[in-house]
Amino acid sequence: CFSQTHDVVHEAVYEYNGQPYLRCFVTLERAVTGKELSQQEREDFWQSVIFYNYIQYALLGPGQSPNNEYWGKSEKAFVEMLEYYMPDYIIVWGARLYNGLPDLGGHALKLNVSDEYTADVWVYPIHGKNIPALKIYHPSMPRGKNWHFWHEVIDKFLNLQEE
């Protein structure tokens, strides 16, 4: 699964020509940075983040739900990834994924973005570090494509100070 994920991200960054199945990567980078990026900025952005597929098994196609066995079998690799990389933040693509992630002894937060929107955040305590995970709509879905809106959410998230 790693080489397939690597190949898709590489194609999205270095060979993107408007392919619909790759637009979600462009949407995410714009949501994080708040702007359209030059090719060099895109390359730099993707060199500065980790892209990780939680479900470690191939599904039949887009929009397919993983079976319960896949969720359970993917947890160990997720924990290993968190322990190895110790990321500062996690942006979770989609409610189904966010709701399926293990709790690992963490806790929930509500991030007040505006009067109209409160974002869900789960905080993972990993080796003394609290790693917050933000739920966003999947960037390929209609509600996830508005990168201007998601930039506001992600910007607040990246400046989150837990009390």
- What average pLDDT score do residues 138-143 get? 93
- What average pLDDT score do residues 127-152 get? 96
Distance linking the first and last C-alpha atoms of the chain: 38
- What percentage of the chain exceeds 90 in pLDDT? 80
CA–centroid distance for 20 within its chain: 19
* CB-count burial class (<10 Å; 0-12, 13-18, 19+) for 94: middle
- Per-residue exposure over 47-69, b if at least 16 CB sit within 10 Å of its own CB, e if not: eeeeeebbbbeeeeeeeeebeee
* Separation between Cα atoms, residue 126 and residue 14, nearest integer Å: 33
* Separation between Cα atoms, residue 85 and residue 82, nearest integer Å: 6
Average pLDDT over the chain, rounded to whole?
92
* Separation between Cα atoms, residue 4 and residue 150, nearest integer Å: 27
* Separation between Cα atoms, residue 125 and residue 9, nearest integer Å: 28
The string of pLDDT tens digits covering residues 35-82 is: 999 999 999 999 999 999 998 887 777 677 888 888 989 999 999 999
Contact at 8 Å (CB) between 53 and 71? no
pLDDT value for 163: 47
Interaxial angle between packed helices 2-14 and 23-33, expressed in degrees from 0 to 180 and rounded to the nearest 10: 70
Residue count (the chain): 163
pLDDT value for 147: 97
* Separation between Cα atoms, residue 122 and residue 127, nearest integer Å: 16
- What average pLDDT score do residues 96-108 get? 96
SS3 content of the chain, % helix, strand, coil (to 5): 45, 15, 35
